[in-house]
């Protein structure tokens, strides 16, 4: 009996040791995304330079057009993490935290360093590798709303939100995309012609967040709300089109699925408010 217990204990220690060794092989505290983000970097078939794998600019030679081809890939693979892509500055900041050598990006290095520092601080602020999707969404929401709302030219970028501390609706949303990508949380934007806000895929449910008013709650995203009308026909956002193409259904109830749910009125209907501290 003692021998069996000893063998079992040694086996458990071997498994744990293997897991720790594997983790250590892919994680470097100096480069917190090492072993995690490299699959997203490719050499662009168009320019031969470093690119984000889902960037439509990689597909400019496709007959259906680059945007449509990139979107079709996301739908075919059912990979909502591929809905977003990033500017050179943002891509270089991710690469820096991955210790990935890039070619051809050529952004301002000081800006890259500042943005990378903010990303690293965010990643160090919670145990993102073991966090739930809900916790990741909460942390992203809290981080982007540290920036003050300012609707003017230059505040539409992730950099302006995370480094300068100023953002319009696009700045908040682009910062949400960047932070979410770093922690593996699918995100995309909703809204209408003059306003956009981020949504996060949390445990199979798209949750919307309004950062311009610094809300402390999510709502169930109405992914099928039109963003505008063209000749009287409703046009969906990219997220709406993705959800339509993949058969996503807005849940009738999220009771018991998320913590701290209260109810209020949105557009004349009772709706859940998923509050966080």
Backbone φ and ψ for 132, nearest 5 degrees, come out as -75, 165
On average, the pLDDT of the chain sits at 91
- Name the pLDDT band for 4 (thresholds 50, 70, 90): very low
Residue 25 has a pLDDT of 56
For 202-212, what is the mean pLDDT? Answer: 98
Token pair 């306003």 is at which residue? Answer: 195
For 175-193, what is the mean pLDDT? Answer: 97
Q: Does the pLDDT of residue 109 top 50, yes or no?
A: yes
Residue 29 has a pLDDT of 86
CA torsion 169-173-176-181 (nearest 10°) is -170
Q: What percent of the chain has pLDDT over 70?
A: 91
Backbone φ and ψ for 216, nearest 5 degrees, come out as -110, 35
Q: Does the pLDDT of residue 212 top 80, yes or no?
A: yes
Max CA pair span of the chain: 78
Residue 7 has a pLDDT of 38
Q: Does the pLDDT of residue 21 top 70, yes or no?
A: no
Q: Alpha-carbon distance 218 to 133, whole Å?
A: 13
- Name the pLDDT band for 193 (thresholds 50, 70, 90): confident
For 93-104, what is the mean pLDDT? Answer: 97
Residue 39 has a pLDDT of 96
Rg value, the chain, Cα: 21
Residue 136 has a pLDDT of 98
Q: Does the pLDDT of residue 27 top 90, yes or no?
A: no
Backbone φ and ψ for 52, nearest 5 degrees, come out as -80, 135
Q: Alpha-carbon distance 256 to 259, whole Å?
A: 7
Tokens of 220: 């169930």
For 250-273, what is the mean pLDDT? Answer: 94
Q: Does the pLDDT of residue 15 top 80, yes or no?
A: no
Q: What percent of the chain has pLDDT over 90?
A: 87
Tokens of 120: 């690293």
Nearest to 143 by CA among 109, 174, 108, 107: 174
pLDDT, tens digit (0-9, with 9 covering 90-100), for 264-277: 999 888 999 999 98
């Amino acid at each position: 009996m003692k021998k069996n217990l000893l063998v079992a204990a040694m086996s458990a220690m071997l498994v744990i040791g293997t897991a720790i060794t594997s983790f250590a092989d892919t994680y470097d505290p100096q480069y917190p995304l090492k072993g995690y983000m490299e699959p997203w970097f490719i050499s662009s078939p168009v320019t031969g330079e470093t690119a984000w794998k889902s960037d439509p600019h990689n597909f400019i030679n496709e007959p259906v057009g680059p945007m449509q081809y990139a979107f079709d890939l996301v739908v075919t693979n059912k990979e909502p993490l591929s809905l977003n892509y990033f500017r050179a500055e943002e891509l270089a900041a991710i690469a820096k935290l991955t210790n990935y050598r890039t070619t051809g990006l050529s952004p301002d290095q000081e800006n890259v360093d500042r943005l990378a520092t903010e990303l690293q601080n965010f990643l160090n602020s919670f145990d993102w590798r073991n966090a739930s999707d809900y916790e990741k969404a909460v942390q992203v929401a809290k981080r982007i709303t540290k920036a003050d709302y300012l609707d003017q030219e230059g505040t539409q970028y992730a950099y302006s939100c995370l480094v300068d501390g100023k953002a319009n609706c696009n700045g908040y949303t682009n910062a949400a995309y960047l932070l979410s990508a770093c922690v593996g949380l699918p995100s995309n934007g909703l809204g209408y012609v003059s306003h956009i806000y981020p949504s996060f895929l949390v445990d199979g449910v798209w949750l919307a967040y309004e950062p311009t008013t610094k809300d402390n709650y999510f709502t169930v995203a109405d992914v099928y709300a039109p963003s505008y009308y063209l000749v009287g026909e409703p046009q969906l956002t990219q997220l709406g089109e993705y959800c339509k193409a993949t058969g996503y259904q807005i849940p009738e109830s999220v009771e018991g699925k998320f913590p701290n749910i209260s109810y209020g009125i949105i557009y004349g209907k009772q709706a859940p408010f998923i509050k966080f501290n």
